[in-house]
C-alpha cells in the first residue's frame, strides 16, 4: 500500500465530506431552481375566451344534440385550441402539479406524456384549452405512473412551435424529475 | 469465527438429511418460481404490449369499447363489430391538427396469421418500441395490386421466400374450410425485419387488394354467379368504401384531446377515437385483477411451503437430540443450538429459492422464443424488477422465521436433556 | 493456586418437579492429574453426578467448583464456554457427529474454545496437527482420519471420541461408561490408550463403569451409593 492508514482515513473523510456537500448543494440548487407555478400562470392575464360568446346564454336551455349548440361548441373548441401562451414562461424552470396522460412508454419507463390540470381530462369533461396542456418529455423516464396519476413535474418549460398554420401551439416541458403528488 | 463454522455445521447436518428435506426444498422452489414468474410475466407483458405501437396519437374505429378497439386494431385480437366509412377517414384527414391518417382493413387471415390491408403511409408512419420505424429485411413494399409484405414471424415460421405465392383465407380461423380467395393469389414481395410486435405475425396488402379479393363476395361468402377473376379486377375502381380502423398522427401531440373530441362528436357516423397509451392502461386495470389473484395464490403456496419446512424440521428434532447433546458436550451453548437451527432454516430456504430462480431462468430461456413468436410476449432474463426483489426478500425472511420455532424447540429439548438425551 | 481441580460441597440435587432428593453428597474432590474410578449399580445416579460435575445440571443446594470457580457463579453461556475450555466428555456411545469426518469431529472443541485451540496450536503447531497427533495416539492411523464417522466401527468411534476429549490439553476428562459398548479386547486397548494419554497430558480423569476388574488401574475408586446420602433413589420417569 502506498499510503498510511492515517492518510487513508483522512482521504476517506475528505471524499465523504465532498460527496455530502455536493449532494446537499445539488438538491438545494434543485429545490431552489424549480419554482412552483400554478396552471393560471400559463394563461395570459388578458385572455378572455368567453368574450365572443355572448349568445351562450340564449342557448343554455337547448339539449346538447341541438345543432346550434354543436356549432357553439365547435366555435369554442377552435378558440380553445388556439389559446395563446405566456411568452415569458419560455425557458423557465418550474415545478407544476397535474395528471398524466401517457403517450410513449409504460409504467416501467414513461418517456412522453401530456400533463393536464384536472382529472378525467381525456374522458368525459371538455378537454382543456391549449395553454392548459403541457407536452412533457421525461429524462430519465418516469417510473410507476399510469393514466391519471397525480404528479409533480419539475423541468424547463418551452413554447412548442409546429409547422402548421397555427404558429405556437402550446407548452412543452423537459422534465428532470417526476414524483408522486402528495398533499403538503 | 464461530458463526462461519456454525453455517458449515448447519449445512453439513442438513445435507446429511437431504432426502427428508428434499421435498420441502422443492416446494419452496415451486413457490419462488410461481411468485417470481408471475411478476416477470406481468412486467414483460406490459412492456411487450406497450412497445407494439409508438408515435400514434389516436386510433379511430366504430363505437365499441376502447380496449376492444385497441386489441383488434393494433394486436389483431378479436374482431370489429362495425366498420367505418371511407368518407369518415377522408374527413378526419382534413381535421384541424391532423398530420397523417393510416387506414387499416382487417378480417382475413393466412394460415393463422392476420392479414392487414393498408396504404403506403403505413410504412412511413408506423412506429414501434421507442419510435422505431419498420425496416424491410428483404424486398420492397407492395406496389402491384396482388403484392404482399409479410412480417418476420410469418416468413420464418412458414419458411417463405421472396416470390412465394400465397392464398388468403376469409375470416380469422386457422383452418379454412374452403372459404378462401384462392382465385386471387398474392406474391410475397417484401419481408419485414423482426420487431417483437404483432407486425411480425401479419401479412400486409394494399387497401385496393383487400377490395379486389372481396369484390365478388357479399356478406361473407362468394356471390353465386358472380366471379370476377384477378385480371378483371386490375381494371376496376378499387376505392374502398369502408375500413376497420385508422391510425392518426397529429402535428402537435398536445392537440390530441381536441381532435379526439372532434372525432367522437362526428355527426356523419358514430366514431370513437382512443389514445393507445390510455387504452392500454385500461386493459391493465382489467387484467390487474387476475394478476392480483395469481399473486395471492402464489403467496399461499409460499406460506404452505414454509409451514412444510417448519414441520419437517420439527418432526426430525427428536432424532437429533443426540446430535445436539454432542454439540453441547463440545462447547455449544443453548444459543448456539438456537442459532444452528435458525441457520439451517435460512439455508434450506435459500437453497429452495435459488433452485426456483434457476428453474425460472431456465424456463425463460427455453420457452422464451416460443412465447415471443406465438404470443408476442418477450420475457426478459435479467433485470429483476423491484417487486421481484421484495418477494425474494419476503421469502427469505419468512423461511428464517419459520425455522425459529424448531430452533426454540431444540433449545428447550437441549436444555432438558443436558448431556444425556432420553431417546 | 490450588491443586484441587474439582470441589463439591454439601450438594443436594432433586429432579425438577420432584420433592425427594436424588443426590445428597457432603464432600467430594478431585486433584490435578488424578484418575478416578466411579462405580455403582445401574440407576444409582452416576450420570447425574457427572452432569453436576460438568456443570450441565445445577444443585439446588451446595456448590460444585471447577478450578475454584463454582458453576452456579457463571451465567449459562459462560458455563458452556468454561466447560469446553477445561473439560472433555466421552459418552457411552454415539459420540460423533455422523456427517463429519473423524478429524473434523476431533477438531470440534477447538471451534468453540479459543483456549483449547491455542493450547492445541502450542502443542503441535496447528489445531489440525494436534488432532492428527491425538488420533495417532489413540491408535488410529492416517487412513481413518478422513473417513466419515458413520463408516467407523464402534471401537474406532470411541477412540475418536477420546481424542476429541483430549485435544487442546483440557484439565479434566469425564468418561461415562465409554467401554460398555465395546468387546473385551477393544476395552483393554481403549483403556490403555486413554490412561496413558491422560498421564502424558497431566489430565485428570473421571471414569464411570461397573466393570470392577479395571478399578485397580485408577489412582482412586469411589462407589457412589457409599457417598450418596439421599434417602432413596428414584429413577425419574
CA distance A46 to chain B (A): 22
Please state, for a pLDDT cut of 70, what percent of chain A lies above it.
68
Q: Which grid cell is B382?
A: 435479467
Number of domains in chain C: 1
Residues of chain A with C-beta less than 8 angstroms from the C-beta of B284: 107, 146
Strand C23-31 relative to strand C4-13: parallel, antiparallel, unpaired? antiparallel
pLDDT in tens, C176-206: 998 888 888 888 889 999 999 999 888 999 9
Neighbors of chain C by Cβ distance (3+ pairs < 8 Å)? B
CA distance C80 to chain B (A): 5
b (16+ CB within 10 A) / e for B128-163: bbeeeebeeeebebbeebbbbbbbbbbbebeebeee
Q: A74-88, B367-381, B387-401: which has the highest mean pLDDT?
A: B387-401
pLDDT in tens, C96-137: 999 999 999 999 999 999 999 999 999 889 999 999 999 998
**Band of residue A1 on the pLDDT scale cut at 50, 70, 90:** very low
Would you say residue C234 lies in a domain? Answer: no
Q: How far apart are CA C77 and CA C85, in angstroms?
A: 12
Interface of A with B in 7-46 (CB under 8 A): none
pLDDT in tens, B226-280: 677 777 777 778 888 899 999 999 988 988 998 998 899 888 899 999 999 999 9
**Range of weakest confidence among B230-239, B316-325, B402-411:** B230-239
Contact B12 C80 (CB under 8 A): no
Residue spans per domain, chain B: 2-49+286-417, 52-282
From residue B254, give the alpha-carbon distance in Å to each of A52, B184, B272, C229. Answer: 24, 44, 19, 101
Sign of CA dihedral A103, A108, A111, A116: positive
Average pLDDT over residues B333-359: 91
Question: Which of B54, B130, B261 has its CB closest to that of A127?
Answer: B261
Tell me what pLDDT residue A3 has.
42
Whether the CB-CB separation of B171 and B109 falls below 8 Å is answered with: yes
Does the pLDDT value for residue B69 go beyond 90? yes
Average pLDDT over residues B80-96: 92
Would you say residue C179 lies in a domain? Answer: yes
Residue B260, chain A, CB below 8 Å: the answer is yes
ipTM: 0.89
Q: Search chain B and give the residue with CA nearest C167.
A: B330
Contact B330 C108 (CB under 8 A): yes
* B244 closest CA partner among B351, B106, B421: B106
Would you say residue C142 lies in a domain? Answer: yes
Does the pLDDT value for residue A20 go beyond 70? no
**Band of residue C18 on the pLDDT scale cut at 50, 70, 90:** confident
Residues of chain B with C-beta less than 8 angstroms from the C-beta of A103: 57, 253, 275, 277
Residue C76, chain B, CB below 8 Å: the answer is yes
Compute CA C162 distance to the chain's CA centroid, rounded to the nearest angstrom.
9
From residue C220, give the alpha-carbon distance in Å to each of B131, B227, C87. Answer: 95, 123, 19
Average pLDDT over residues C3-9: 87
Average pLDDT over residues A82-94: 87
pLDDT in tens, C155-177: 899 999 999 999 998 999 999 99
Would you say residue C26 lies in a domain? Answer: yes
Strand B245-250 relative to strand A168-180: parallel, antiparallel, unpaired? unpaired
Q: How far apart are CA B88 and CA B95, in angstroms?
A: 11
What's this model's pTM, rounded to 2 decimal places? 0.78
* C149 closest CA partner among B20, B326, B418, B343: B326
Average pLDDT over residues C80-85: 92
Whether the CB-CB separation of A93 and A155 falls below 8 Å is answered with: yes
Domain of C211, CATH number, reads: 3.40.50.300
Would you say residue C233 lies in a domain? Answer: no
Strand C35-39 relative to strand C220-223: parallel, antiparallel, unpaired? parallel
Q: Which grid cell is B329?
A: 458436550
Question: Which of C56, C112, C164 has its CB closest to that of B418?
Answer: C56
Tell me what pLDDT residue A23 has.
60
Range of the domain at C150: 4-227
Q: How far apart are CA C38 and CA C175, in angstroms?
A: 10
- Cell 438425551 maps to which residue? B421
Burial class of residue B378 (count of CB atoms within 10 Å of its CB; 0-12, 13-18, 19+): middle
For residue B343, what is the DSSP state?
H
Whether the CB-CB separation of A140 and A112 falls below 8 Å is answered with: no
Residue A127, chain B, CB below 8 Å: the answer is yes
Tell me what pLDDT residue B98 has.
92
Sign of CA dihedral C230, C234, C235, C236: negative
Size of interface A-B (CB pairs under 8 A): 99
Per the omega criterion (within 30 degrees of 0), is the bond before A140 cis?
yes
Tell me what pLDDT residue A2 has.
44
CA distance B381 to chain C (A): 38
Does the pLDDT value for residue A19 go beyond 80? no
Q: How many CB atoms lie within 10 A of CB A119?
A: 12
Residue B390, chain A, CB below 8 Å: the answer is no
Tell me what pLDDT residue C167 has.
92
pLDDT in tens, B180-225: 787 888 999 999 999 989 999 999 999 999 988 888 776 666 766 6
Tell me what pLDDT residue B250 has.
92
Q: How far apart are CA C106 and CA C127, in angstroms?
A: 10
* C62 closest CA partner among C8, C5, C4: C8
Residues of chain B with C-beta less than 8 angstroms from the C-beta of A106: 46-47, 49-50, 277, 280
Tell me what pLDDT residue A24 has.
57
Average pLDDT over residues C221-233: 80
Please state, for a pLDDT cut of 90, what percent of chain C lies above it.
51
* B151 closest CA partner among B111, B197, B84: B197
Residue B327, chain C, CB below 8 Å: the answer is yes
Average pLDDT over residues A138-160: 92
Q: How far apart are CA C104 and CA C111, in angstroms?
A: 10
Residues of chain B with C-beta less than 8 angstroms from the C-beta of A166: 97, 251-252
Amino acid at each position: 500500500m502506498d499510503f498510511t492508514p492515517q492518510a487513508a482515513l483522512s482521504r476517506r473523510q475528505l471524499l465523504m465530506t465532498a460527496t455530502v456537500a455536493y449532494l446537499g448543494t445539488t438538491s438545494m440548487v434543485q429545490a431552489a431552481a424549480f419554482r412552483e407555478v400554478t396552471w393560471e400562470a400559463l394563461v395570459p392575464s388578458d385572455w378572455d375566451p368567453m368574450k365572443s360568446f355572448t349568445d351562450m346564454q340564449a342557448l343554455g336551455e337547448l339539449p346538447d344534440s341541438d345543432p346550434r349548440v354543436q356549432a357553439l361548441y365547435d366555435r369554442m373548441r377552435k378558440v380553445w385550441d388556439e389559446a395563446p401562451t405566456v411568452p415569458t414562461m419560455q425557458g423557465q424552470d418550474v415545478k407544476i402539479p397535474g395528471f398524466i396522460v401517457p403517450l410513449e412508454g409504460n409504467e416501467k419507463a414513461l418517456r412522453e406524456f401530456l400533463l393536464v390540470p384536472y382529472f378525467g381530462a381525456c374522458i368525459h369533461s371538455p378537454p382543456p384549452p391549449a395553454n392548459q396542456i403541457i407536452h412533457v418529455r421525461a429524462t430519465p423516464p418516469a417510473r410507476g405512473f399510469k393514466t391519471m396519476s397525480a404528479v409533480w413535474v419539475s423541468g424547463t418549460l418551452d413554447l412548442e412551435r409546429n409547422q402548421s398554420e397555427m404558429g405556437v401551439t402550446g407548452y412543452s416541458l423537459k422534465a428532470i424529475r417526476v414524483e408522486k403528488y402528495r398533499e403538503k | 469465527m464461530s458463526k462461519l463454522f456454525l453455517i458449515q455445521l448447519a449445512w453439513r447436518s442438513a445435507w446429511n438429511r437431504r432426502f427428508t428435506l428434499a421435498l420441502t426444498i422443492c416446494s419452496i422452489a415451486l413457490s419462488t418460481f410461481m411468485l417470481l414468474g408471475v411478476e416477470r410475466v406481468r412486467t414483460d407483458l406490459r412492456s411487450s404490449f406497450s412497445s407494439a405501437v409508438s408515435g400514434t396519437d389516436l386510433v379511430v374505429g366504430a363505437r365499441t369499447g376502447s380496449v376492444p378497439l385497441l386489441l383488434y386494431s393494433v394486436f389483431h385480437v378479436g374482431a370489429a363489430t362495425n366498420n367505418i366509412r371511407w368518407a369518415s377517414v377522408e374527413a378526419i384527414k382534413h381535421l384541424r391538427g391532423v398530420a397523417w391518417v393510416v387506414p387499416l382493413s382487417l378480417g382475413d387471415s393466412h394460415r393463422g396469421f392476420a392479414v392487414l390491408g393498408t396504404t403506403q403511409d403505413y410504412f412511413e408512419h408506423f412506429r414501434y418500441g421507442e419510435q422505431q420505424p419498420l425496416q424491410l429485411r428483404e424486398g420492397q413494399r407492395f406496389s402491384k395490386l396482388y403484392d404482399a409484405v409479410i412480417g418476420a414471424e410469418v416468413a420464418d415460421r412458414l419458411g417463405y421466400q421472396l416470390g412465394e405465392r400465397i392464398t388468403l383465407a376469409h375470416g380469422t380461423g386457422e383452418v379454412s374450410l374452403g372459404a378462401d380467395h384462392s382465385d386471387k393469389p398474392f406474391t410475397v414481395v417484401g419481408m419485414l425485419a423482426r420487431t417483437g410486435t404483432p407486425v411480425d405475425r401479419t401479412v400486409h396488402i394494399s387497401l385496393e387488394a383487400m377490395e379486389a379479393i372481396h369484390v365478388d363476395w357479399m356478406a361473407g361468402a362468394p356471390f353465386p354467379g358472380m366471379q370476377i377473376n384477378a385480371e378483371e379486377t386490375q381494371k376496376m375502381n378499387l376505392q374502398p368504401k369502408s375500413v376497420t380502423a385508422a391510425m392518426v398522427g397529429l402535428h402537435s401531440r398536445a392537440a390530441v384531446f381536441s381532435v379526439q373530441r372532434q372525432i367522437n362528436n362526428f355527426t356523419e357516423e358514430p366514431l370513437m377515437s382512443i389514445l393507445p397509451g390510455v387504452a392500454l392502461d385500461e386493459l391493465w386495470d382489467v387484467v390487474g385483477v387476475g394478476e392480483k389473484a395469481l399473486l395471492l395464490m402464489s403467496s399461499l403456496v409460499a406460506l404452505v411451503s414454509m409451514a412444510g419446512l417448519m414441520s419437517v424440521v420439527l418432526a426430525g428434532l427428536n432424532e437429533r437430540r443426540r446430535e445436539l447433546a454432542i454439540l453441547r458436550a463440545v462447547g455449544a451453548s443453548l444459543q448456539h443450538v438456537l442459532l444452528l437451527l435458525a441457520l439451517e432454516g435460512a439455508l434450506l430456504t435459500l437453497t429452495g429459492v435459488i433452485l426456483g430462480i434457476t428453474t425460472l431462468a431456465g424456463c425463460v430461456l427455453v420457452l422464451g422464443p416460443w412465447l415471443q413468436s406465438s404470443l408476442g410476449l418477450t420475457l426478459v432474463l435479467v433485470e429483476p424488477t423491484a417487486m421481484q426483489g421484495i418477494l425474494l426478500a419476503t421469502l427469505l425472511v419468512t423461511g428464517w422465521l419459520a425455522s425459529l420455532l424448531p430452533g426454540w424447540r431444540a433449545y428447550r429439548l437441549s436444555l432438558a436433556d443436558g448431556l444425556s438425551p432420553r431417546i | 493456586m490450588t491443586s484441587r481441580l474439582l470441589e463439591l460441597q454439601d450438594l443436594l440435587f432433586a429432579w425438577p418437579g420432584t420433592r425427594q432428593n436424588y443426590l445428597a453428597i457432603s464432600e467430594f474432590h478431585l486433584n490435578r492429574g488424578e484418575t478416578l474410578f466411579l462405580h455403582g449399580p445401574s440407576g444409582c445416579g452416576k450420570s447425574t453426578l457427572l452432569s453436576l460435575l460438568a456443570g450441565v445440571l445445577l444443585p439446588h443446594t451446595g456448590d460444585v467448583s471447577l478450578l475454584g470457580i463454582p458453576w452456579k457463579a457463571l451465567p449459562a453461556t459462560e458455563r458452556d464456554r468454561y466447560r469446553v475450555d477445561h473439560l472433555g466428555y466421552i459418552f457411552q456411545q454415539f459420540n460423533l457427529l455422523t456427517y463429519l469426518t473423524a478429524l473434523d469431529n476431533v477438531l470440534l472443541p477447538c471451534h468453540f474454545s479459543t483456549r483449547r485451540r491455542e493450547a492445541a496450536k502450542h502443542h503441535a503447531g496447528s489445531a489440525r496437527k494436534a488432532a492428527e497427533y491425538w488420533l495417532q495416539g489413540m491408535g488410529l492411523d492416517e487412513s481413518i482420519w478422513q473417513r466419515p464417522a458413520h463408516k467407523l466401527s464402534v471401537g474406532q468411534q470411541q477412540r475418536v471420541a477420546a481424542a476429541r476429549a483430549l485435544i487442546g490439553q483440557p484439565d479434566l476428562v469425564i468418561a461415562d461408561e465409554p467401554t460398555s459398548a465395546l468387546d473385551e479386547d477393544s476395552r483393554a486397548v481403549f483403556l490403555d490408550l486413554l490412561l496413558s494419554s491422560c498421564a502424558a497430558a497431566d489430565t485428570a480423569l473421571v471414569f464411570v463403569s461397573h466393570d470392577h476388574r479395571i478399578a485397580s488401574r485408577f489412582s482412586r475408586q469411589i462407589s457412589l451409593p457409599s457417598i450418596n446420602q439421599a434417602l432413596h433413589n428414584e429413577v425419574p420417569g
